[in-house]
A and B are shown apart, each in its own frame.
Chain A
């Protein structure tokens, strides 16, 4: 997936100019233009990571179409597929891809697969308390911290900060882990990619939301946790992550995410029920166009995530017959 992302970015080819701070959307993304006769109500059920971005989209879209009402529920990516399948929601924001089982369930009912639209890029950040001096963690170390079975081959269980090279007062302190609950796509993604499908330790404190993870770490000096890059506060800091033990460490910055250097970079998705080869009807279609427009991607930046390149946007618009 990383290669795919890097490829897409190379195709877009306009990202070299990104500075450290002021992130901007891909200039070749299309501007959103309002259409007549769009009215009705939409429901979105799914990811908590995308919850705020969804709300910003709803606000922006609502400005264009005041008579469209959209309601948003964000309790975890795991809630998206059942709602999409039962028809209670039209959009399923997810921070991971659907599992084979979920796709099968969908296909059983509709006869075709759900369509995944890539709407944002997230460098899944590893957070520690702001006073934690840890310089870098490799995926093997992260796996040894979070996982019971250490599928990445870490030699020993890591339970204190001293074991990952922290000196001083913190060295002897136990690592206290914060994570998401199992309904979360972030939980699933971290498990699949960072832990290669291993099991979380029982001592990982499961939190109901991305922001709750960050708040937990903010008040716990020996804490570590993972959450979307957009949820950073001044009380926590990012830990640079390296893919291999002896590899180079990368911050979860937009450059590193686009280049594919940051090893736990992912797309964030919105799933829709779209018959392949057909065009989405105006209400849903316009919303999808809005998400993948300049304005929609501005909202992504506003929420702290990274916008998608226009090549990705046009690929996805083609999937639902809008381009």
Chain B
């Protein structure tokens, strides 16, 4: 009996334990812990990506929304007008607190010594000498949002916050009634058009004359280098050049006069701005980019300002050392460089992979090459940059210069960073990706298909061309997509081989030979770095960093989406023809 109770008790103890063990092994055998950790890892990954996207998008998309303006009168009589930028709590030093009114002292004490302050974006840098100002809450006497206060974007010196006092049309004073004043808008449009006309004449017409002069000078220098200064050929060319020079100078004079006339007309249309402190500033109408009464905007007007800012950002050139204006040259440069890179990397990568997989004798040497290619993918990108600069720009470019452009030396043509060298450097950087992806795709083509083709009497090359390669194409495309995404987002090596802060000329334009591979260019990735870390006022640059990041991400997404569409088309085409 007692023995029975003992065993019963023992079994009563062991039953739940074994049941628990059974449950554990059960879970493990079903692979649940692995499943959960995989799911968890995925969730964390997605969360991080989403968090990043939300951060960038929310900051980037909100940047161009017109914000209200506030006028803060301080207890010490100072007046600050500006866009509230951000707020934070801080702990003022005890000496400052001691000078405050008893109510404020109490308030600060109650909040453990903390108090709010707000950062205002002031504008008017030419008058104040500062762009931002912190205003602690205890200094605020009065906050207003006057309806007539304007946010005026200028082409120079950044925004102006204040009001329009008067404006002049053809030198005659006019009374200012509001921004929708018919005369005001008309004069503004006229002046902007004239400014554009000036730009056009200066850019294309005067540019042409200058280029012709320069070409003449270079042609002369070329003859001098070839035949010497005393030769008959040089003397003939010299007289020809002199005659041509006179004609060009005449054209130049005529064009300058034309520009001068336009300038004078524009200089007669001015507007006088006045800031809250009463100090005035007179600017040309042509220097006025956009003005709006920030506290008196309807929803429609707000949307109008928002999109016109986006439009400016996408199609205009940068101003004021890249802190204002648009980023069109950077978008163009990024796209041009990436496309050129693909043109180089795709054939090279595919040919290499074809040889390695289809022709080369599989052995030690080939495995060694394969390992080397894989290792190349792990080399830091800046090393490629140094190689690109040293080999492409200095060695190859330097030789091209000394053979083809000796008349331009010592100014380098190809012997310095440029679009071509950047594309080649990035092609080197991304070629392992394409090789590996193509090899995998080739290996995945079934042996039976090759054998079938060969059995029908096709040669090896015919088999590759008509059977293997088409079926491997989607895989090859994947490799190219990855390479493009990597290439478009890469900045470090480009800083050495051709990306610059500001490139006034696009690498593709209307002058012969239309595509200028030697030109340095702008790049969105570098633009982000430049605005974020190298601009005069880091605070003012921050919003632009987010906007540019949004744009870069969008550009990469568009390029990738296009490639993915192409790939799925290819896949569909071959899915149908399989047996």
Contact = CB atoms under 8 A, between A and B. Distances in A.
Interface string B499-527: 01111110000000000000110000000
A66 B204 CA distance: 8
Contacts of B332: none
Interface in B116-155: 119, 125-134
Contacts of A218: 538
Nearest to A283: B411
Contact of B411 (A90, A212, A304): A90
B475 interface: no
Contact of B210 (A59, A67, A232): A67
A234 B133 contact: yes
A55 B541 CA distance: 15
Contact of B213 (A37, A62, A75): A37
B439 to A, nearest CB: 38
A234 B213 contact: no
B301 interface: no
Interface stretch (A9-17, A40-48, A143-151): A40-48
Contacts of A73: 495, 500-501
A235 interface: yes
Contact of A37 (B93, B252, B537): B252
Contacts of A55: 321-322, 501-502
A135 B90 CA distance: 19
A20 B501 CA distance: 32
Interface residues of B, number: 61
B177 interface: no
Interface stretch (B454-462, B528-536, B551-559): B528-536
B339 interface: no
Contact of A72 (B156, B412, B500, B505): B500
Given A39-B211, A87-B412, A211-B535, A56 B320 contact: yes
B129 A65 contact: no
A51 B500 CA distance: 11
Contacts of B132: 233-234
Contact of B536 (A130, A133, A231): A231
B211 A67 contact: yes
Contacts of B93: 131, 133, 168
A56 B504 CA distance: 12
Contact of B534 (A40, A48, A69): A48
A215 interface: yes
Nearest to A83: B416
B517 to A, nearest CB: 14
Nearest to A284: B411
Nearest to A41: B411
Contacts of B415: 88
B19 interface: no
B500 A21 contact: no
Nearest to B248: A37
A85 to B, nearest CB: 11
Interface string A225-266: 000001111110000000000000000000000000000000
Interface centre among B90, B95, B321, B537 (most CB of A within 10 A): B321
B249 interface: yes
A256 to B, nearest CB: 15
Contacts of B296: none
A208 B533 contact: yes
Interface in B301-327: 319-322
B534 A74 contact: yes
Nearest to A232: B130
B190 interface: no
A40 B411 contact: yes
Contact of A39 (B94, B128, B130, B213): B213
A223 interface: no
A35 to B, nearest CB: 10
A202 interface: no
A37 B539 contact: no
Contact of A52 (B245, B256, B417, B534): B534
Interface centre among B132, B211, B535 (most CB of A within 10 A): B535
A188 interface: no
Interface residues of A, number: 58
Given A39-B213, A55-B502, A131-B90, A234 B416 contact: no
Given A41-B411, A131-B91, A59 B321 contact: yes
A159 interface: no
B204 to A, nearest CB: 8
Given A56-B320, A168-B93, A209-B533, A38 B500 contact: no
Contacts of B245: 37
A302 B94 CA distance: 36
B538 A70 contact: no
Contact of B214 (A52, A67, A215, A231): A67
A214 interface: yes
Nearest to A230: B536
Interface string A29-41: 0000010111111
Given A40-B411, A133-B93, A34 B256 contact: yes
A77 to B, nearest CB: 14
Nearest to A218: B538
B442 interface: no
B534 A209 contact: yes
B207 interface: yes
B407 to A, nearest CB: 12
B501 A66 contact: no
A63 interface: yes
A103 interface: no
A105 B416 CA distance: 21
B206 interface: yes
A206 to B, nearest CB: 14
Nearest to A38: B210
B203 interface: yes
Interface string B356-392: 0000000000000000000000000000000000000
B466 interface: no
Given A21-B127, A36-B249, A87 B410 contact: yes
A58 B535 contact: no
A172 interface: no
Nearest to B156: A302
17 contacts: A20-B129, A23-B129, A37-B245, A39-B214, A42-B411, A66-B203, A69-B503, A69-B504, A69-B505, A71-B502, A71-B503, A71-B520, A74-B501, A88-B416, A215-B538, A234-B130, A302-B126
Report the 8 A-B pairs with minimum CB-CB distance, sorted nearest first. Answer: A234-B132, A39-B214, A39-B210, A55-B321, A67-B207, A37-B213, A71-B500, A67-B210
Interface of A: 20-23, 34, 36-43, 48, 51-52, 55-56, 58-59, 62-63, 65-75, 87-88, 90, 130-131, 133, 168-169, 208-212, 214-215, 218, 230-235, 302-304
Interface of B: 90-91, 93-95, 119, 125-134, 156-157, 202-203, 206-207, 209-211, 213-214, 217, 245, 248-249, 252-253, 256, 319-322, 410-412, 415-417, 495, 500-505, 519-520, 533-539, 541
